[in-house]
Structure formats: structure tokens, C-alpha cells
């Protein structure tokens, strides 16, 4: 593991180095200052000694000679270790209290003498060539006659001086200790926020409970930490929302009627719903358990080619596969991250419905063509007739009119049927009392009953109620009665009876005592456009949709209807309506 200092230790180290450098700097500066001041004061002392000696020489009129006992005596009154040298203006040593002047070299080039020549006085610190002691030399130039040079051993004098200032060292030490303590205090204080931030991050990683935004110290790091907590909470919330959305999506996939699978770029399964494998097994030739198998199956060749292609302009591709009498729509969507979705929908039913619709449309066109062609024929005949032949014209106009009525009835039936199938919710559902409804039907048709000598019997109790559409319930029985009138024959009896009512259903019987329907046609009479006697009924006006409307209307009420011939003659319909509201 790489060695790493904690934030606190690093602050401590940096501050320690700074304080140490600062302290050493102060000590060095102070020492230099002391040295300078001591040198200055030594120089002053040496200067007054030199002056004193000069005045002594002048006062006593001492002449320079080989021996100068007066000076030797004077020295005894001056500070210990003081060295006195008198040098004439040519640099020749005329007196030295420590060394023999005869062996001493010319002193004109000594720095202090040079300075004294230039400025009247001068000093220099150096090792003596004569006795190898470090001296502070001080020389004064006296009116160009001679130089008095006094010197004291330098080191010996400075050290005690420094020692005497040891209180300064104690002060610096104290300053250093206080600074270090303060440094500890502040480092702890500053690193507290960082430490807490680190704890927060570690807790977060280990999924332990974390602090709220309000528990951080009131400083910049605390502020940053609080911001991070807030962002983290926001992130957590968003992540939760995202997970929820994902869950919804997955549920949607699970309950979807379609087969949905998501694969990675490497074609590894990420998600598939149960329908997917089921559809896949219908399409592929041998049973498989792996969704990824599809990439090696020949039925999915087109899909694989699309996925392999590098220059595709679209990210979506759809195709159709027909297998085992079923039709599938396959769609591939490639996402931005190169993952992709394969979507298989079973369109067999939809396709069948589409074909049925197509057939119905063809039938409708065919049915409409008959009356329209007739009307056109009649009108053309009228136009070709002699305008004066009013009687024949009238006859054709009458026929054309009948066809127009047929046409309009056909259209009405078609639209009724379409409405039942496509817009069932347009029929208002309500509790319908059947007795009054059937009475109304009887009175609507009373004229024709009378004309055709038909007896209409209603055997339904007053309280029989069906929850459903009044319009459709009327239409069911109206179509049945109309059929009896049209096909059963003359002088017949029509009966509508509620023969049973249980807790959950109402049972009706409709019958007439007419000619009935041949058994082979019975199963087909509910089909659209089915007529028993094709040629005849087409002319007499039936659309072949009446019983289709009846059947669909009954089914819309979740009921059922069957037709059968009565043993005593005539057609019988048994109709059941459930009592529930749905
Ligand atoms: P349409 O709308 O042309 O009347 P339907 O679908 O109602 O056609 O009836 C289909 C066929 O069933 C009719 O062509 C008719 O021959 C026969 N049919 C219906 N009701 C009766 C009945 N009560 N008695 C005899 N035949 C009937």
C-alpha cells in the first residue's frame, strides 16, 4: 500500500516546518544583530582606548624608541588581553606590547590601516599572522603622524556576550512551543471537517447511516460537505425514482402480450419476458431454452444481417415471419449504447381480423351493387321510354323507389352492425323493462299484423328487467318479428315469452308457427349476408344482416342465442341475458 499522510498530519508537518524555519531565521538574525552590536561597542571601546593612549603619548611627549617603558606601564591599566600596536606613517611598527617589533613586517597594507588612511579610523576581524589568534583590530590615524592600533581577541569576547543573552533563547523556545501547540489546536480544528467528510464518504460506501446536511461544522469544508450530502440525497431520490420507473417498465414487459427481449452489444441477454421464449420456440425449428439461440437460427437471418451491418441508416428494422400457421411481426431497435431490443408480436389474430374485414367490405360492396344497379337500370329504362307512356314510367319509378328503400335499409343495417362491433360503448346501458318495450314494438307493427292477419303474443311479466341498451334490445326483437312477418308466411302467430328468470339470468323464447328454416341452413342463418333463399330474398328485400345484428346485439349483452325449428312448425329462438351489469 502506498504510504500516505492524513490531512491532519500533513497540516502539522507543513506548519511545523514553517515554524521551525521561522524560529531558526529569528535566531540567526538575532545572533547577527548581536554580533554587529557587540563589534560596534568593542570598536567604540577600542577607539576610546586608542584616543586615551594617543593623549597619553602626546601629554607625556613620549618619543618612539626601541624601548618605551611608559607605554608598557600604561598597558597594565588597560583591559586584559588588549594588544597595542603603534605604527608610523610609513607602516613600520614602532611599538607592540605582545610581539617583538623588530620581527614584525610592514603594516601599511593591513585593512584597518588602509581604512584609517582613507577615513581616519578602520577595523578588521581576522587571524593574526603573528600569533594566530582571531582579533578585532581597530586603528586610528593621528594627524598623519602615526597610527594607534588596538585589538582584542574576538571570539573570547563575543561568546560570553552571547551567553549573557540566553533569556532570548528561552523566549524563542517558548514562542516555538506555543506556536506548535497552537498549530495542533488549529490543525485539529481544520481537519475535523475533512475527517467528518471522509467518515461520511466511508459510511456511504459501506451503506451505513449518514449524517444530514445540518450536522456539519460551520465553515467552507462543512458547507461543501453539506452540499455533497444534499446532492447525494437528491441522487438517492432520483435513483429510487429511476428504480421505480424501471420496475414499472419491467412489469409492463412482463404482462405485455408481446415477446420483448433486450440484449447487450455482445448479444448477451439482459432481459426477456416469458412470451419471448414462447414465440421464439414457435418460430425456430427445434425447441430451445436459450433466448440467444435466435442469432444462429436461419429464420432470424434478416435480423442478424441488420445487426451485423455497419452502414445502416436507421436504428429500427421490422420484418415478418410466418411459422406454424402463425404470423409474427419482428422489430429490432438499436439503442444509443448499442444494446438492442427485439420485439416479437403475434399478429395472427389481427391479420385474420384484417382479412375478415376485407371480406366484409367486399360483401358490402357486392350487396350495395345489386340495388344500385337495379335503380340505374330502372332509371335508364324510364329515360328510354316514350314520355307520353306515363303508366310504364310510373311502374319503373315505383320499382326504383322500392330499391332505394332497400338500399337505405341495407345501409342502416350495415351501420348498426358496425356500431355494435366497433363502437359498443356508444350504446347507453340502463335497466330496461322488457314488457313495455315489447308492447311498444307490438303497437309499432300493429298495422302490418292486422294486414297480414298475424297474432302477436307477449308473455312477459311486468317486472322483467334487463340491464342493457334499450335501442339494441328493441332491435333484437324487432328483427326477429320482422323476419317472421317476412318469411314465416301469412296468418301466423308470433310469441315472445320470458319462460324463466334465475338469480343471474333471464331466459326468453321467441317463436312463430310459420314455415321454419331447413335444418342445413339453421347453423348459418346468423352469418352476415346469409339468406336461406338467396335468389328470392335478394329481390324481396332482406339484407341477410338481420340475424347477424340480433346475434351481435345479444353477445354485446354477454348473452347467447340459438335457433331451432319447432316440432309443431315454425322457427324458435332461445335467448339468454345475464343479469349482471357488465
Ligand atoms: P334478412 O336481414 O335478409 O332478413 P336474416 O339474417 O334476418 O336476413 O335472416 C336470414 C335468413 O333466415 C333469411 O333469409 C330467411 O330465409 C331465414 N329466416 C329468418 N327468420 C325466419 C323465420 N322466422 N322463418 C323462416 N325463415 C326465416
- Report pLDDT for 211: 62
CA–CA gap between residue 95 and residue 86 (Å, rounded): 5
CA angle centred on 444, ends 440 and 449, rounded to 5°: 115
Report the atom number in ligand 1 closest to the C-alpha of 527. Answer: 6
492 Cβ closer than 6 Å to some ligand 1 atom: no
Res 203: pLDDT: 82
**pLDDT for residue 310:** 85
Q: Helix H segments across 83-219?
A: 111-119, 154-163, 166-205
Residue 441: what pLDDT? Answer: 96
Q: Is 130 in the pocket of ligand 1 (CB under 6 A)?
A: no
Sequence-ordered list of residues with C-beta below 8 angstroms from that of 86, at least 6 positions apart, any chain: 57, 64, 71, 93, 94, 95, 96, 146, 147, 148, 149
Give the nearest ligand 1 atom to 483 CA: 20
Q: Is the CB of 259 under 6 A from ligand 1?
A: no
Determine the pLDDT at residue 214: 56
Which residue owns the Cα nearest ligand 1 atom 17? 532
pLDDT at 212: 64
In DSSP notation, 419-488 reads HHHH-GGGSPEEEEEHHHHHHHHHHHTHHHHHHHT-EEEEE--TT-EEEEEHHHHHHHHHHHHHHIIIII
Ligand 1 neighbour 487 (Cβ under 6 A): yes
Q: Is 260 left (phi over 0), alpha (psi -120 to 50) or beta?
A: beta
531 CA from centroid of ligand 1 (Å): 6
- The residue contributing the CA closest to ligand 1 atom 16 is 532
Of 487, 509, 561, the residue with max ligand 1 atoms within 8 A of its CB, to mutate for a pocket test, comes to 487
Give the SS3 label for residue 499. Answer: strand
pTM of the model: 0.51
Phi first, then psi, for residue 467 (nearest 5°) are -85, 110
User: Rounded to whole angstroms, how far apart are CA atoms 413 and 212?
Assistant: 72
Predicted confidence at residue 47, as pLDDT, reads 93
pLDDT at position 307 is: 92
Nearest C-alpha to atom 20 of ligand 1 is from which residue?
A: 483
Q: How far is the CA of 532 from the centre of ligand 1 (A)?
A: 7
- How far, in Å, is the centroid of ligand 1 from the Cα of 543? 9
How many whole angstroms from 396 Cα to the centroid of ligand 1? 27
Q: Dihedral, CA atoms, 360, 362, 365, 368, nearest 10 degrees?
A: -50
Given the C-alpha cell 358496425, which residue does it identify? 418
Ligand 1 centroid–CA 189 distance in Å is: 101
**How many Å apart are CA 555 and CA 431, to the nearest integer?**
17
Going from the Cα of 283 to the center of ligand 1, the distance in angstroms, rounded, reads 45
**547 CB under 6 A from ligand 1?**
yes
Q: Write out pLDDT tens, residues 83-131.
A: 899 999 899 999 998 888 888 889 999 999 999 999 999 999 888 877 7
C-alpha cell at 116: 584609517
CB-ligand 1 contact for 347 (6 Å cutoff): no
Which grid coordinates belong to 159?
A: 561568546
Asked if residue 200 has its Cβ within 6 Å of ligand 1, the reply is no
Residues of the chain with pLDDT under 70: 1-3, 155-166, 210-215, 534-541, 581-582
Closest-CA residue to 544 (of 559, 564, 560, 524): 524
- Pick the atom of ligand 1 nearest to 548's CA: 6
Whose C-alpha lies nearest to ligand 1, atom 23? 484
Backbone dihedral angles phi then psi of residue 474, each to the nearest 5 degrees: -65, -45
The closest-lying atom of ligand 1 relative to the alpha carbon of residue 413 is 2
513 ligand 1 Cβ < 6 A: no
Give distance in angstroms: CA of 422 to centre of ligand 1: 24
Report CA(515)–ligand 1 centroid distance (Å): 11
CB 200 within 8 A of CB 229: yes
CA of 455 to the centre of ligand 1 (A): 19
Q: Which helix (H) or strand (E) holds 378?
A: helix 348-384
Cα distance between residue 305 and residue 298, in whole Å: 11
Cα(258) to centroid(ligand 1), Å: 42
Chain center to CA of 372: 63
CB neighbourhood size of 556 (10 A):
17
What distance in angstroms lies between residue 13's CA and the mean position of ligand 1's atoms?
Answer: 108
| Long-range CB contacts for residues 215-218, cutoff 8 Å, separation at least 24 | 217/192, 217/193
| CB neighbour list of residue 88: distance below 8 Å, 6 or more residues apart | 64, 94, 145, 146, 147
For residue 114 and ligand 1, the question of a CB distance below 6 A is answered with: no
Which residue has a Cα nearest atom 7 of ligand 1? Answer: 546
Task: Check pocket membership of 510 for ligand 1, CB cut-off 6 A.
Answer: no
Task: Output the CA–CA distances (angstroms, integers) from residue 211 to 200, 214, 218, 230, 454, in the order listed.
Answer: 7, 8, 15, 10, 92
Candidate of 518, 519, 525, 569 to mutate for ligand 1, largest count of ligand atoms within 8 Å of Cβ: 525
Ligand 1 proximity of 572 Cβ (cutoff 6 Å)? no
Query: What pLDDT score was predicted for residue 169?
Result: 76
Residue of 170, 174, 179 lying closest to 12 (CA atoms) = 179
Residue 157 pLDDT: 45
Q: How far apart are CA 436 and CA 460, in angstroms?
A: 10
Alpha helices in 61-140 (DSSP H): 69-77, 111-119
Amino acid at each position: 500500500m502506498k504510504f500516505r499522510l492524513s490531512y491532519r498530519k500533513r497540516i502539522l508537518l507543513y506548519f511545523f516546518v514553517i515554524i521551525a524555519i521561522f524560529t531558526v531565521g529569528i535566531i540567526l538574525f538575532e545572533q547577527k544583530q548581536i554580533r554587529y552590536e557587540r563589534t560596534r561597542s568593542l570598536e567604540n571601546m577600542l577607539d576610546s582606548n586608542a584616543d586615551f593612549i594617543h593623549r597619553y603619548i602626546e601629554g607625556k611627549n613620549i618619543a618612539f624608541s626601541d624601548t618605551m617603558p611608559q607605554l608598557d606601564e600604561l598597558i597594565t591599566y588597560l583591559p586584559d588581553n588588549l594588544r597595542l600596536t603603534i605604527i608610523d606613517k610609513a607602516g613600520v611598527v614602532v611599538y607592540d606590547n605582545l610581539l617583538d617589533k623588530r620581527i614584525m613586517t610592514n603594516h601599511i597594507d593591513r585593512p584597518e590601516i588602509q581604512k584609517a588612511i582613507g577615513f581616519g579610523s578602520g577595523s578588521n576581524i581576522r587571524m593574526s599572522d603573528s600569533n594566530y589568534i582571531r582579533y578585532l583590530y581597530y586603528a586610528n590615524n593621528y594627524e598623519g603622524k602615526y597610527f594607534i592600533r588596538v585589538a582584542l581577541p574576538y571570539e573570547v569576547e563575543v561568546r560570553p556576550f552571547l551567553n549573557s543573552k540566553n533569556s532570548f533563547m528561552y523566549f524563542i523556545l517558548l514562542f516555538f512551543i506555543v506556536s506548535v501547540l497552537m498549530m495542533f489546536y488549529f490543525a485539529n480544528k481544520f481537519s475535523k471537517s475533512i475527517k467528518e467528510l471522509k467518515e461520511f464518504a466511508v459510511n456511504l460506501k459501506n451503506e451505513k447511516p449518514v449524517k444530514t446536511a445540518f450536522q456539519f461544522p460551520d465553515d467552507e469544508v462543512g458547507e461543501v460537505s453539506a452540499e455533497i450530502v444534499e446532492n447525494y440525497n437528491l441522487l438517492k431520490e432520483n435513483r429510487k425514482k429511476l428504480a421505480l420507473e424501471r420496475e414499472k417498465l419491467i412489469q409492463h414487459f412482463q404482462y405485455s402480450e408481446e415477446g420483448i427481449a433486450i440484449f447487450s452489444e455482445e448479444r448477451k441477454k439482459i432481459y426477456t419476458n416469458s412470451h419471448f421464449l414462447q414465440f421464439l420456440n414457435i418460430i425456430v425449428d427445434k425447441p430451445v431454452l436459450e433466448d440467444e439461440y435466435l442469432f444462429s437460427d436461419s429464420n432470424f437471418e434478416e435480423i442478424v444481417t441488420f445487426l451485423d451491418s455497419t452502414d445502416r441508416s436507421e436504428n429500427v428494422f421490422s420484418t415478418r415471419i410466418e411459422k406454424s400457421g402463425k404470423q409474427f411481426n419482428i422489430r429490432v431497435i438499436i439503442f444509443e449504447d448499442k444494446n438492442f431490443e427485439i420485439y416479437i408480436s403475434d399478429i395472427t389474430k389481427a391479420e385474420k381480423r384484417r382479412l375478415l374485414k376485407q371480406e366484409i367490405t367486399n360483401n358490402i360492396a357486392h350487396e350495395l351493387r345489386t340495388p344500385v344497379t337495379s335503380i340505374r337500370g330502372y332509371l335508364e329504362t324510364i329515360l328510354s321510354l316514350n314520355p307520353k307512356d306515363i303508366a310504364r314510367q310510373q311502374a319503373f319509378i315505383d320499382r326504383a323507389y322500392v330499391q332505394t328503400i332497400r338500399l337505405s335499409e341495407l345501409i342502416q343495417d350495415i351501420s348498426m352492425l358496425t356500431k355494435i362491433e366497433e363502437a359498443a360503448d356508444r350504446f347507453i346501458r340502463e335497466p330496461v323493462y322488457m314488457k313495455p318495450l315489447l308492447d311498444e314494438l307490438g303497437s309499432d307493427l300493429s298495422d302490418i299484423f292486422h294486414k297480414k292477419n298475424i297474432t302477436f303474443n307477449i308473455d312477459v311479466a311486468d317486472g322483467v328487467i334487463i340491464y342493457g341498451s334499450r335501442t339494441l334490445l328493441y332491435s333484437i326483437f324487432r328483427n326477429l318479428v320482422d323476419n317472421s312477418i317476412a318469411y314465416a308466411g301469412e296468418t301466423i302467430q308470433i310469441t315472445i315469452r320470458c319462460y324463466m328468470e334465475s338469480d343471474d339470468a333471464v331466459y326468453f323464447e321467441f317463436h312463430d308457427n310459420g314455415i321454419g328454416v331447413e335444418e342445413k341452413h339453421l347453423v348459418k342463418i346468423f352469418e352476415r349476408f346469409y339468406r336461406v333463399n338467396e335468389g328470392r330474398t335478394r329481390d324481396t328485400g332482406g339484407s341477410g344482416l338481420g340475424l347477424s345484428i340480433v346475434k351481435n346485439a345479444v353477445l354485446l349483452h354477454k348473452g347467447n342465442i340459438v335457433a331451432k325449428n319447432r316440432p309443431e312448425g315454425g322457427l324458435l329462438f332461445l335467448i339468454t341475458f345475464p343479469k349482471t351489469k357488465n
